[in-house]
Amino acid sequence: MRTGKSARPHTDHPSLGRATAPLLASQKSQGKGGYNPIAPERVREILKRLDGLYLEVTCALQHRSAWELLVATILSAQSTDVRVNMVTPELFRKYPTVQDFAALTPEQLQPDVRSTGFFRNKSKSVVGAAKKIVSDFGGQVPDQMEQILTLPGVARKTANVVLGTWFRKNEGVVVDTHVHRISRRLELTRNDDPKTIEQDLTKIIPRERWTLFSHQVIWHGRKLCVARRPKCVDCPLENICHAADKTWSTVEVHKNAK
Ligand code: SF4
């Protein structure tokens, strides 16, 4: 079974220590009107430090196929991966194939996914996606963005998870709640809409990094850069982060960085 690897922050990484980390040119010019939060050298440094923290991370949703990952991702909306991972093993034991799901009505599925929240809509999406995959795609989850987006309940976030994680295709950046929050804190975007945030990120992150970057930032959001009271004192990105809601800072904070 392909499962998400745990990602323990390595905050004591010697090359990431705050005391020794050199200031970037983009930081040195700060105060002279030259600070550019998306300067290539700053973005490279962010990616390097994320690598130091979360080198080999992937999606935490348990799955054995593209279909299982698609279902798990649909169920994860407004829920947690831990909660979804409690539900899916029994779900896929009960309904092992996409054809089994396609034969259901949404109402029949509801009790099995109830604990993930929003179960009526999620049941509708999962059953609708199964029916379309069986009728239009020969029972296989499509591996093309424009096709996967035709499935009920599948928007870009879900499509990017499945295409990036299962099919290893860097078609976009997954903008979930963690990527949304942290991209703003790190001033990689000033936008608030997931679609525009994704466009901003794909302009500055090398394409081959899109999926890995998504997973790394999601893990960072779970482990250190949490929504309330981020653990900045333990964060190796601290001296290049100017987030307005930092809980501890050695650099000036920027009021728009949140
Ligand atoms: S320093 Fe704080 S706000 Fe900035 S990335 Fe780290 S945990 Fe998040």
- pLDDT beyond 70 at 88: yes
* Long-range CB contacts (within 8 A, 24+) of 81-87: 81/4, 83/115, 83/116, 84/116, 85/60, 85/61, 86/115, 87/112, 87/113, 87/115, 87/116
Query: Which amino acid, one-letter code, is at 52?
Result: G
Q: What is the pLDDT at residue 152?
A: 96
- pLDDT beyond 90 at 18: no
- Ligand 1 atom having least distance to the Cα of 241: 4
* Torsion angles phi and psi, residue 239, rounded to 5: -80, 0
Mean pLDDT value across the chain? 90
- pLDDT beyond 90 at 7: no
pTM: 0.86
42-68 pLDDT, tens per residue?
Answer: 999 999 999 999 988 989 999 999 999
Distance, in Å, from the CA atom of 198 to the CA atom of 205, rounded to the nearest integer, reads: 10
148-195 pLDDT, tens per residue?
Answer: 999 999 999 999 999 999 999 999 999 999 999 999 999 999 999 999
19-23, 46-50, 85-89, 215-219, range with the lowest pLDDT? 19-23
The closest of 94, 101, 113 to 139, measured between CA atoms, is 101
pLDDT-above-70 percentage for the chain: 87
More confident position, 27 or 204: 204
Q: What is the pLDDT at residue 241?
A: 98
CA-nearest residue, atom 2 of ligand 1:
232
CA-nearest residue, atom 8 of ligand 1:
225
Q: How far is CA 238 from CA 21, 100, 171, 248, in A?
A: 10, 49, 30, 8
Residues 76-80 have a mean pLDDT of 93
Ligand 1 centroid to residue 131 C-alpha, Å: 43
Choose which residue among 180, 225, 229, 234 to substitute to test ligand 1 binding: the one with the highest number of ligand atoms within 8 A of its C-beta: 225
CA-nearest residue, atom 3 of ligand 1:
246
Choose which residue among 181, 182, 237, 249 to substitute to test ligand 1 binding: the one with the highest number of ligand atoms within 8 A of its C-beta: 237
Residues 213-236 have a mean pLDDT of 97
The closest of 201, 194, 186 to 256, measured between CA atoms, is 186
- pLDDT beyond 60 at 119: yes
Q: What is the pLDDT at residue 27?
A: 54
